[in-house]
Amino acid sequence: MKRDPLLWAALVAVLVVLASAEYELAVACGFGRYVAAGVPAALDVYAIAALRARRDVLAVVGTLIAVNAASHLVAVDLLPVSVTLVVAVSAVAPLVLWRVHRLSEQEAEPRPEPSTAEAEPEPEPAEPITVERAPEPVDAAPVGPVLGPWQPLAELAGGTGGTGPDLLGDHFRRAAQVITEPETEPAPEPVPPAVPPTGTGAADIVSEDTANTTFAKRVATVRNWLGTEPELTGAEIGTRLGVSDGYGRRLLRAARDAS
């Protein structure tokens, strides 16, 4: 119960008023002067216990109304004291004892306190994350230099049983030979024979080698170029004369030797 002074004052006043009527009814039903005081005391204790426990409130209010009305009806001779009335007043004390005992047991039982905090919502299950990977290429070309066809370790080490050729040594010897050998110069381009002018005979045909004559002219041309461009290379000479790079290098060497 709340500790409100006005509420307690009203409760005390009501119990005093009811206690007087309850006491007079008990005396009229044959209770002694001192024992009759136990009837209002028992009803007052029951009323307070019911209000504290917030149970049997309607039952205790109905009992108090009935006992108070019966007391006043007996006092004005409107209700005779009968067997039924005496039995009912005598049953008040045992019934109050039973109900107060039950209320005390129910009050002693622990009650779950209502939760004022709102229940936290359960987190929703996270959606699965799918990681897509690019498909790996099938039969992809190898990255990096390729030295040659793969050979078993036994063959690279010298063949089976020590009688096979040393394939690894042959491979490196061939590679060294290709690196150290000078580049093969292409054969000189054939020069078509000079056509004698019309009206000349066989005596007008040049007796010298036409290819050598052309080569000598080109060497002289390269010598003139080197006089102004000493850094000229064989590839540039070949480009200017419309010949291969190897032939241009040959002209360059001949021009430098003739200088």
The average pLDDT across 110-117 equals 57
Residue 224 has pLDDT above 50, yes or no: yes
CA-closest candidate to residue 26, choices 67, 76, 82, 84: 67
The percentage of the chain sitting over the pLDDT mark of 90, rounded to a whole number, equals: 7
CA-nearest of 36, 5, 33 to 19 is: 36
Taking each helix axis as running N to C, give the angle between helix 92-108 and helix 57-75, from 0 to 180 degrees, rounded to the nearest 10.
160
Q: Is the pLDDT of residue 225 over 80?
A: yes
How high is the pLDDT of residue 169?
A: 65
Residue at 232 is within a domain: yes
What pLDDT does residue 84 have? Answer: 92
Percent helix, percent strand, percent coil in the chain, to nearest 5: 60, 0, 40
**Res 125: pLDDT:** 64
Residue 128 falls inside a structural domain:
no
The domain boundary residue, chosen from 108, 137, 164: 108
**What is the chain's alpha carbon radius of gyration, rounded to the nearest angstrom?**
68
Q: Please report the pLDDT score of residue 83 as a whole number.
A: 92
Whole-number Cα distances in Å, 148 to 141, 158, 255: 14, 17, 42
Report angle CA 217, 218, 220 to the nearest 5 degrees: 65
In a domain? residue 246: yes
Last residue of a domain, one of 55, 80, 108: 108
User: H/E element holding 102?
Assistant: helix 92-108
Q: How confident is the model at residue 209 (pLDDT cuts 50, 70, 90)?
A: very low
Instruction: Write out the two tokens for 62.
Output: 């109905």
Decide: helix, strand or coil at residue 2: coil
Contact (CB, 8 A) for 59 and 113 = no
Helix (H) or strand (E) holding 220: helix 210-228
Mean pLDDT of the chain: 74
The answer to the question of residue 251 being in a domain is: yes
Q: To the nearest 10°, report the CA torsion of 37, 38, 43, 46.
A: 140
What is residue 162's predicted lDDT score, i.e. its pLDDT? 47
As for how many domains the chain has, the answer is 2
**Per the domain annotation, does 159 fall within a domain?**
no
Structure-token pair, residue 97: 């004892």
Residue of 171 and 100 predicted with greater confidence: 100
Report helix angle 234-241 to 245-258, nearest 10.
110
Token duo for residue 236: 């540039």
In the listed set 108, 134, 165, which residue is the last one of a domain according to the structure?
108
Please tell me the distance from the alpha carbon of residue 7 to that of residue 30, in angstroms, as a whole number.
35
Domain membership of residue 185 (yes or no) is: no
Instruction: Decide: 171 and 148 in contact? Cβ < 8 Å.
Output: yes
- State residue 69's pLDDT score: 92
Q: Which domain holds residue 73?
A: 5-108
Residue 194 has pLDDT above 80, yes or no: no
Q: Which residues contact 50 (CB under 8 A, 6 or more apart)?
A: 56, 57, 59, 60, 99, 103
Q: Say what the alpha-carbon torsion angle 59, 62, 63, 65 is, to the nearest 10 degrees.
A: 160
Q: Is residue 113 part of a domain?
A: no
In terms of residues, how long is the chain? 259
Assigned domain for 186 exists: no
